[in-house]
């Protein structure tokens, strides 16, 4: 584990193939860099959670995104919301090791149209698309058991 500041986090993302710079900046805006951010190693058997948007007229297909959390993830904690259609909690298992950007979710203004915004303050993990193949979906989880409200 290596502690990152905003600049080293940007370099880390570039090294993982994230581009252009405006995409990196968009990702970094989701992290509160007044708190520690890390280059965090994940190992086979580790478990991550994602609150996946349910289908809507604007986004008719459910898809795995790039943002994950740990057990106990809540929508408010990772500064997202249910948007117009709601979310489903899904548990993922790491099947091949990788290193990802981990830090504290920054408080963001609520935007129901894109389903972001909330208090933040919880641990979140960003995985570029190239790392999603290192995970296996284990199925839906009752998000109320996770405390996701």
- The whole-number pLDDT of residue 114 equals 79
- The three-state secondary structure class of 5 is coil
Question: What percentage of the chain carries pLDDT values higher than 70?
Answer: 96
Express each pLDDT in 34-75 by its tens digit: 999 999 999 999 999 999 988 887 778 888 999 999 999 999
- The whole-number pLDDT of residue 115 equals 84
Q: Is the pLDDT of residue 148 over 60?
A: no
DSSP character at residue 63: -
CB atoms within 10 A of CB 149: 10
Q: Is the pLDDT of residue 149 over 70?
A: no
Torsion angles phi and psi, residue 112, rounded to 5: -65, -30
Q: Is the pLDDT of residue 147 over 80?
A: no
Q: Is the pLDDT of residue 84 over 90?
A: no
> Which residues sit opposite 125 in a β-bridge?
68, 102
Q: What is the value of pTM for the model shown?
A: 0.92
- The whole-number pLDDT of residue 62 equals 84
Domain count along the chain: 1
- The whole-number pLDDT of residue 55 equals 86
Express each pLDDT in 94-122 by its tens digit: 999 999 999 999 999 998 877 889 999 99
Domain residues for the domain of 42 are: 2-146
Buried b (16+ CB within 10 A) or exposed e, 28-54: bebbbbeeebbbbebeeebebbbbbbe
């Amino acid at each position: 584990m290596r502690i990152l500041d905003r600049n080293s986090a940007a370099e880390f993302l570039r090294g993982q193939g994230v581009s252009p710079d405006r995409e990196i900046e968009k990702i970094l805006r989701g992290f509160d860099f007044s708190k520690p951010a890390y280059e965090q190693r994940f190992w086979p058997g580790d478990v991550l959670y994602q609150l996946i948007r349910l289908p809507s007229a604007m986004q008719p297909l459910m898809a795995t995104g790039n943002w994950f959390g740990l057990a106990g993830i809540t929508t408010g904690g990772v500064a997202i919301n249910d948007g117009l259609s709601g979310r489903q909690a899904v548990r993922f298992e790491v099947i091949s090791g990788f290193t990802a950007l981990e830090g504290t979710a920054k408080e963001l203004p609520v935007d129901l149209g894109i389903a972001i915004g909330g208090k933040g303050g919880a641990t979140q993990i960003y995985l570029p698309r190239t790392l999603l193949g290192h995970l296996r979906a284990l199925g839906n989880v009752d998000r109320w058991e996770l405390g996701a409200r």
